[in-house]
Amino acid sequence: MSDEQLVLAAVDGHVATLTLNRPKALNAISPALIETLIAHLDRFEADEQIRALVLTGSDRAFAAGADIKAMSTASASEMLLGRSIERWTRLAACRKPIIAAVSGYAFGGGCELAMMCDIIIASESAQFSQPEVNLGVMPGAGGTQRLTRAIGPQRAMEMVLTGNPITAQEALQYGLVNRIFPIERYLAEAQALAATIAEKAPIAVMLAKEAIRAASETTLREGLALELRNFYLLFDTEDQKEGMRAFIEKRKPIFKGR
């Protein structure tokens, strides 16, 4: 399989869907897959026509973890100098909203990749796990940090220290996922949600995402300052004028991302 086929890309209107495509390896996340994913992210982030993205895998596995064969013999210096895990954060840095459509296994790096997205839609078969302790290591791509912020320290501690998976229903109860759908609908529902977001003012969506992310990464004072700055900035956009004019005129706004 060529690198181009490791991640499949499809566009429908203003929504791009990226599909992890290593079925024989249950979408294990290899360095080549990450580089291919990053290439697609760079392309779609620069494309003004794309306003929201969906990241998914197969019905059987979103991603069953990092590619263990690729790192099993690596030394600490090789991991440090290779910066392979740091490259994953490109997903979290995307300024456009990303919805993870998760079915089956989201283990280890797969769970961490899903948590880098902004919203998680799960199928009824989804399972989430951070099983790195079973391999003699620990999460390294956000599994101890994003998971703790999502579900709290006690539940994160249990998941990380035991390596035991949680079901989609437990993930919903804990606040890790937004919604659960039957396996035949979860991807379509994620794409429909992305299409709804893509109808909104793109710059407002981008700055709102930035402010919400800051809520878990900064102090309240810093977060409020960022929120207010972004709010004021939007008054220099054409979409703000269009949105408020449309409200007054009782019609649907036409947003252009300007």
Q: Where in the sequence numbering do the catalytic residues fall? A: 66, 109, 112, 132
**DSSP-assigned letter for residue 184:** T
Count the neighbouring beta carbons within 10 Å of the beta carbon of residue 98.
23
Residue with tokens 């982030």: 45
Residue with tokens 């991603």: 63
Closest CA to 9 of 23, 25, 1, 20: 20
Of the chain, the end-to-end C-alpha distance in Å amounts to 40
Q: Is the dihedral of CA 158, 159, 164, 166 positive or negative?
A: positive
| Alpha-carbon span 102 to 189, nearest angstrom | 11
CB 191 within 8 A of CB 17: yes
